[in-house]
Structure 1
Amino acid sequence: MFKFIHAADVHLDSPLRGLSKYESAPAESLRSACRKAFENLVDLAIEEQVAFVLLAGDLYDGEWNDFSTGIFLSRQMGRLGKNNIPIFAVAGNHDAANRMTKALDVPANMKILSSRKVETIKLDNYSVAIHGRSFGTQHVDKNIASEFVAAEKGMFNIGLLHTSLDGREGHAPYAPCKIDDLRSKGYQYWALGHVHKQEIVSEEPHIIFPGCIQGRHIRETGPKGCILVTVEDGSVSEIEKCPLDVLRWVYNRIDLTDAPDMTEVLERTRISISNEGMSAEGRPVAMRVHFEGATGISNELAAYPERFEQRIKALGAEIAGDRLWIEKVEIATVSKLNLDAVLADGSALGRLLEDILATPSKPEDISGLEDTVAGVRQKIPSEAFSDDSLFNLDEPQTLERLVDEAKQMLVGRLLMDGGAK
């Protein structure tokens, strides 16, 4: 019997783009989170006395600003080395983009498999054969899995591969392949990387994405960590999901259906924030709060979203202090009474509201939107539109969300101000 750890997508010292625009963002805590999560991985490996650690790509995150990232890694690999724990890794798309990795020697107990061809490492004392191939360039669009050799007879075979498999939402199609391509090799375990959400794709054989070890933005919510695998008599006997993250991202949906007033809104928010905080098991929380449902005060919330957001952030600070950072407040409630009444009265205000509500949500259906977006790009720093940003205007979902938020805000503000005149 032996154990091993399967991890991927560490993204050491990942840049946290756009944090400067959030005055209250715990930038230092977020910046060091990936390192602390990796230290947790090393602690777990030593505590469990694993036979080896597998890293399925994207150990780094593109270019480093200095050599401290490599030195930190060497220090952690040294801790494993002192406990006779080797590390076997393949380079992913982010690793291949990093030129500075070539300037530092690989730690003695770490083996990065070849990018030229599939390489096999045999660990005879455990009857294990590890097969893998690294990315040689950042963009690999061919099926690498087809090049893997057949399983070694009488051994526990592991495939180590950085891949999007047959496609996963939000992830570029790198080294695409089919599940049957993997099954055909006869391996007992496929250690995959690239997809940041943990997923057990198959149990016969085991094909697993462990996910990233630390969420870095709101698209990476919930527990993040690695897989601890126990092998007995040449077969997987246990799979354990081990959280490693030190800060948890939470998307908190709050239903305001039939909420009569702001007092009720704040009370529901208080309860929801408290519950979500408890689910993080003592970790600091970065939270996006999303309000939805039909309520009579929807217009009041949407009319001045900045004011409402500040009230929610203040409430979060009251509940959890510096253990909670509210990254964004989204208002997606709908009005239950006032809007219908104004739309039915035939007034100029009602006709204007009809026009606003009739605005298509699909970007391609809005005349002139492309030119407007181009103008916005010229006025706002490029980092605001990065892949990890809230305003990645290359994604249709982002534009749809912004259009819907603008419609809600305009309708709410017109109902509030128009009704008072």
Structure 2
Amino acid sequence: MSGLTFIHTADLHLDSPFKGMRQLPKEIVTRLHNSTFLSFQKIVKLAIKEHVDFVLISGDLFDGENRNLLTQVKLRQEFQRLNQHNIQVYIIHGNHDHLGGKWISVEFPENVHIFSEKPEMMVYKKENGVTVHLYGFSYGQRHLIERSARHYKKVDGADFHIGLLHGSIEGNTEHSPYSPFSLKELLDIGFDYWALGHIHKRTELSLYPPIIYPGNIQGRHKKEIGEKGCYLVRLQQKEASLQFVSTHDILWEKKELKFEEIHSFDELLAFCQNERENVRQNNTGVFLELVIRVEQVNEELLFTEEDLLELLQEDEEGREDFVWVHSVKLNVLSAEILLEGNQSFYSLISSHAENKETVLEALLPLYAHSAARRFLENLSDEELQQITEEAKSLLFALLSGKGGITS
């Protein structure tokens, strides 16, 4: 018996608004707004090139419940390309594009199969007789807190069993806990592959059998750094070959530079320019955040973040392989040198800043505000650490009188 070849992708977020990026040059704004669809087109090309049997999309094709009509038409064209090569598409909808939204519907080609709100099984059969049972459901509404995995039941009569599920693995605090599940729950069901969605960070929860979050196909903000893409899967009766394939059109990166001392602005600029060239990639745009950690700086080194950013962004907007430095943070690490007589005060403040509960308590009024909390997500440990470091750097500047150094 021959095996299967398929693509597993999720969290396309087509038509993502990319909030907070309004100050960019027009060329880069256009590129950014097209990036999610360009990434999906790469997946379609990959599917055709590899002659896959089908493509699995595990939720959140669209960024919002009210789908853009033009985007739906463009998506249909890509599905039609797959149909011309007899490649099937199996889709579940997630919390962002749930079935309870309102939109003008377009009819997709016959190769597109969308799971309904109630858990169901679909059958795929290859020309050589290999049979696959695919299990899944689409969100009927945005907020789904039920443990949906308990509705999945393996049905005999197939060579392979594949589950599609959009939800959160227990213990994940960076995403809303929709349709939560445990690893044991999925393993006990006995499927050959679990095609997960919802978590934007690529994660292989299990390899035997594969239980996979492919992550989203295109990073949309500075928290979604690194390669983004899909999985090309070759499934045999007792083994699986997993290949992650990058599809992003724009890459988000964060780099840290550490120095004992910086003597001049030209020296600092050269360091940053060199790092900018190190991350440049052919045919790919890059949004870069630079964090510079230095033990001490020359007292005459006074500049603003805007000065450095303007120089690093110069002549980048017209390049296909642009590297747009969107943030520079200079963290001076030597509290003894900078604070001198204020050391005891700094130590007191610093000890509070390093206490996670204290930081969360300080942020509580913001999250309790009725207007603000609608736009806020839970902070990860990394983000809390970043807030702490930025607070310390601001404290350095205030107490040392070196207000020209920003972070």
Correspondence for 1:103: 105
Report the residue type matching 1:412 in the other structure.
Answer: A
Correspondence for 2:331: 332
- 1:181 and 2:185 aligned: yes
Report the residue type matching 2:259 in the other structure.
Answer: L
What TM-score comes out, normalization by structure 2 length? 0.85
Alpha-carbon separation, structure 2, partners of 1:41 and 1:81: 14
SS in 2 for 1:76: helix
Q: Is the 8 A contact 2:309 2:327 kept in 1?
A: no
Correspondence for 1:215: 219
Report the residue type matching 2:244 in the other structure.
Answer: K
SS in 2 for 1:103: coil
- 1:203 and 2:207 aligned: yes
Correspondence for 1:227: 231
Report the residue type matching 1:294 in the other structure.
Answer: E
Correspondence for 2:159: 155
Q: For this pair of structures, how many residues does the alignment match?
A: 397
Taking the TM superposition and a 5 Å limit, the aligned residue runs for 1:264-279 are 264-277=267-280
CA drift of 1:100 comes to 3.6
Match of 1:408 among 368, 393, 406: 393
Taking the TM superposition and a 5 Å limit, the aligned residue runs for 1:135-146 are 135-146=139-150
Alpha-carbon separation, structure 1, partners of 2:161 and 2:300: 61
Deviations 1:244-274 (A, max 9, x none): 1101000111113333443432333233222
Alpha-carbon separation, structure 2, partners of 1:240 and 1:366: 40
| Greater mean alpha carbon deviation, residues 175-184 or residues 254-263 | 254-263
Q: Is the 8 A contact 1:286 1:327 kept in 2?
A: yes
Alpha-carbon separation, structure 2, partners of 1:367 and 1:58: 30
Report the residue type matching 1:333 in the other structure.
Answer: V
| Greater mean alpha carbon deviation, residues 403-412 or residues 124-133 | 403-412
CA drift of 1:338 comes to 3.1
Runs of 5+ unmatched residues, structure 1: 345-349
Alpha-carbon separation, structure 2, partners of 1:175 and 1:376: 27
Correspondence for 1:262: 265
Q: Is the 8 A contact 2:397 2:403 kept in 1?
A: no
Alpha-carbon separation, structure 1, partners of 2:390 and 2:178: 33
- 1:134 and 2:138 aligned: yes
Alpha-carbon separation, structure 2, partners of 1:44 and 1:371: 46
CA drift of 1:324 comes to 1.4
Alpha-carbon separation, structure 2, partners of 1:367 and 1:287: 28
Alpha-carbon separation, structure 2, partners of 1:153 and 1:66: 40
Correspondence for 2:314: 317
Alpha-carbon separation, structure 2, partners of 1:413 and 1:25: 38
| Greater mean alpha carbon deviation, residues 84-93 or residues 114-123 | 114-123
Alpha-carbon separation, structure 2, partners of 1:78 and 1:123: 20
Match of 1:117 among 110, 119, 134: 119
- 1:386 and 2:375 aligned: yes
Q: Is the 8 A contact 2:339 2:400 kept in 1?
A: no
Q: Is the 8 A contact 2:260 2:295 kept in 1?
A: yes
Alpha-carbon separation, structure 1, partners of 2:360 and 2:116: 51
Q: Is the 8 A contact 1:4 1:53 kept in 2?
A: yes
Alpha-carbon separation, structure 1, partners of 2:334 and 2:113: 59
Alpha-carbon separation, structure 2, partners of 1:97 and 1:386: 23
CA drift of 1:24 comes to 8.0
C-alpha distance 370-343 of structure 1, shift in aligned 2 (>3 A): closer
Q: Is the 8 A contact 1:361 1:404 kept in 2?
A: no
Q: Is the 8 A contact 2:54 2:88 kept in 1?
A: yes
Match of 2:19 among 7, 17, 20: 17
Q: Is the 8 A contact 1:164 1:195 kept in 2?
A: yes
C-alpha distance 374-89 of structure 1, shift in aligned 2 (>3 A): closer
Q: Is the 8 A contact 1:19 1:25 kept in 2?
A: no
Once superposed, what is the RMSD of the aligned Cα atoms?
3.4
Alpha-carbon separation, structure 1, partners of 2:76 and 2:265: 53
CA drift of 1:292 comes to 1.9
Match of 2:305 among 305, 308, 314: 308
C-alpha distance 336-267 of structure 1, shift in aligned 2 (>3 A): farther
SS in 2 for 1:257: strand
Correspondence for 1:171: 175
Correspondence for 1:347: none
CA drift of 1:55 comes to 0.4
Deviations 1:326-351 (A, max 9, x none): 2222233323663253437xxxxx97
- 1:54 and 2:42 aligned: no
What TM-score comes out, normalization by structure 1 length? 0.82
CA drift of 1:312 comes to 3.9
Correspondence for 2:284: 283
Report the residue type matching 1:239 in the other structure.
Answer: L
Deviations 1:185-234 (A, max 9, x none): 211111111111111111111111111000111111111110001123x2
Alpha-carbon separation, structure 1, partners of 2:130 and 2:112: 18
Q: Is the 8 A contact 2:294 2:330 kept in 1?
A: no
Alpha-carbon separation, structure 2, partners of 1:367 and 1:199: 27
Q: Is the 8 A contact 1:229 1:236 kept in 2?
A: no
| Greater mean alpha carbon deviation, residues 166-175 or residues 204-213 | 166-175
Alpha-carbon separation, structure 2, partners of 1:368 and 1:145: 35
| Structure richer in helix, relative to its length | 1
Alpha-carbon separation, structure 1, partners of 2:145 and 2:54: 29
Q: Is the 8 A contact 1:192 1:209 kept in 2?
A: yes
Alpha-carbon separation, structure 2, partners of 1:29 and 1:287: 16
SS in 2 for 1:96: coil
Report the residue type matching 1:31 in the other structure.
Answer: H
Deviations 1:57-102 (A, max 9, x none): 1111114474112111111111111111110011111111662456
